[in-house]
Amino acid sequence: MPVVEYKVPENIDAAVSMLSNTKLSTKVMAGGTDLIIQSRAQSSDPLVVIDIKRIDSMMTAAIVDGGLHLGPSMSCAQLTARSDIKAIYPGLVEAAYLIGSTQVQGRCSVGGNLCNASPAADTIPALIVNGAECVIHGPKGERTVAAEDFAVGVGRNCMEQGELLTRIQIPAPAAKTSDAYLRFIPRTEMDIAVAGAAVSVTLDADGTCTAARVSIGAVATTALLVTEAADALIGTKLEDAALNAAAAAATAASKPITDRRGTIEFRRHVVGVLTRRAAVIAAQRAKEK
């Protein structure tokens, strides 16, 4: 799909109308770290690229009432430099930081990670455990989709022709709530998750877990919200038995494939281990709040 046309809308309405009124195959570009590579693939469809980086609201982030309004195209380098955001959602920022090299960080974005809908996308489990909502603009107006429903298959998201992801909205966490994201890769840097797990926990004054969310990545066609794993944590003080039960629930919920990066058995085991470890880190962070 060679790029044959490049458009730069100044606002969201212009972008939506460019996306709707086209006969050619049209793609939105943020950092382009996936799109530019995909545009060089064999298939010969000419491609129109809509670069939405001149739209201010796509590129900025603000703390609103203790929660986050994230411009989907803000680079991960800019996001991870924001200590105010990291203080509220350390696991999300950690996940964003794991994508690619320093050079890729300079361009890639959380919105791009969502829209590209890789099963191994690092930020999607972290968005899911934080209850993120994806605000979508289209020819028929605005709608909101929960992060766990945004990706619908390998490389496929829920948006229809003409729709644009315009904001990622994350609610303010409750008191003594924090998150963590861990992934397994065979190297120390620059790799794709073989399995990943994000956990968010809320503790009460005596350290009992009153709320939790668990999401696992790279072990199914999309990142999964695993309520059974969260239920295993809620009402406990996160003792070994509870952590092991959450790990077992994550393993049970996973539906991985065997490929050159890992086998089914390995992925199922590791996703449980990561869930357990992420729960411990999230709980430690929640205690320190």
Q: At its nearest, how many Å lie between other proteins and the CB of residue 283?
A: 27
Cα 149 from Cα 245, distance rounded (Å): 25
Cβ–Cβ under 8 Å, residues 104 and 177: no
Q: Which residues pair with 168 in a beta bridge?
A: 70, 134
For residue 2, give both structure tokens.
Answer: 């060679």
CB of 281 to other proteins, least distance (A): 19
CB of 221 to other proteins, least distance (A): 24
- Burial class from Cβ neighbours inside 10 Å (0-12, 13-18, 19+) for residue 10 reads exposed
DSSP secondary structure code for residue 54 in this structure: T
94 Cβ neighbours under 8 A, 6+ residues apart: 126, 180, 181
Neighbours of 161 (CB within 10 A): 10
Least distance (Å) between residue 158 CB and other proteins: 26
User: Nearest distance from residue 26's CB to other proteins, in Å?
Assistant: 13
Residue with smaller CB distance to other proteins, 189 or 240 = 189
Helix (H) or strand (E) holding 137: strand 133-138
Q: Please say which residue, 39 or 215, places its beta carbon nearer to other proteins.
A: 39
Q: Applying CB under 8 A, which residues contact other proteins?
A: 2-6, 8, 29, 31-33, 36-37, 39, 49, 51, 53, 75, 77, 100-104, 106-107, 189-190
* Least CB distance to other proteins at residue 73 (A): 13
Query: Position of tokens 């790990």?
Result: 247
How big is the chain by its Cα radius of gyration, in Å? 19
Residues 110, 103, 47: CA angle, nearest 5 degrees = 65
